[in-house]
Amino acid sequence: MKRRRLFIIFLIVGFLLSACSQKDQTVESSEELIIEPAEEPTVEPVLSGACGVSYFPILPDTTWVYRMAEENGLFVENRVWYEEITDDSFVWMQEIDSDPPVSAQSGWTCTEEGLISTDFAATNVPAVLGSMGYDYDYDIETLEFSGITFPAEEMWYVDSEWTSLWKVAGDINVEDLGLVNAVIDITMNNLIAAEEPISVPAGNYDKAMRVDSIMQLDISIKMEGLDIPSIQGEYGMSSWYVQGVGLVKQVSEDASFSIELSSME
């Protein structure tokens, strides 16, 4: 039973990686990763065209380096960058310095309404299961998407709201467990709740937009031919975005999760 619970936890985390980053094993101490805030943070230019949302700048040859807090007070490094950038699309990339390393990517498109990620990230769930001693065959896909993932420039004002909805499915053949099928309905409701100052290791910012989000999950699982009662969950999260910089901080008390921008390289 313990192995099954662990498996389900890793499965769910894998599906949600592109919506909220994972927590993994600590690789460095907090003392080693503490960075003194810069007095005058550099504001980078943003791309023109449909992808030019200043609160989500898609910059070439730029990496956003975040530190992810662990419950023991230590940190893990999380790196985000973009590839295959065009006037109306890009690929979001992520690497987490953990053991085993976590990597993910997802394709985005740009519209007049905003930026859209129609698929959840491909993750290293198989590598995680392998490290737990499972033998598996793995398949995952996004079945449906509606709404917008990130709003257009003109929607960045206090009290602005938007919603994203995904339906994600996966099949995994796991040794000793058989075929596991999961279908997850994800609804993300977002509200720009305030404009306020924020301080992170990368710098002090006088103005940041705080986005309060509620993620609702409805998870249906079949294991060894048995229907398991659906699992519902709701998680709150707050994210701070700075114009010309992007995401600088994200926290969720519900998920015991916190990241802060350390630098832009």
Residue 13 domain boundaries = 2-264
Tokens 């290293």, residue located: 124
Is the per-residue pLDDT at 193 higher than 90?
yes
DSSP state letter for 108: E
What is the domain count for the chain? 1
Residue 8 CA to residue 14 CA, distance in Å, equals: 10
Taken in order 14, 55, 93, 101, the sign of the CA dihedral is negative
The residue ranking higher by pLDDT, 180 or 6, is: 180
Tell me, what's the pLDDT at 176? 64
Written as one letter, the residue type at 208 is: A
Residue 171's pLDDT band (cuts 50, 70, 90) = confident
Is the per-residue pLDDT at 130 higher than 60?
no
Tokens 């976590």, residue located: 102
Residue 168's pLDDT band (cuts 50, 70, 90) = confident
Q: Report yes or no on whether pTM surpasses 0.85.
A: no
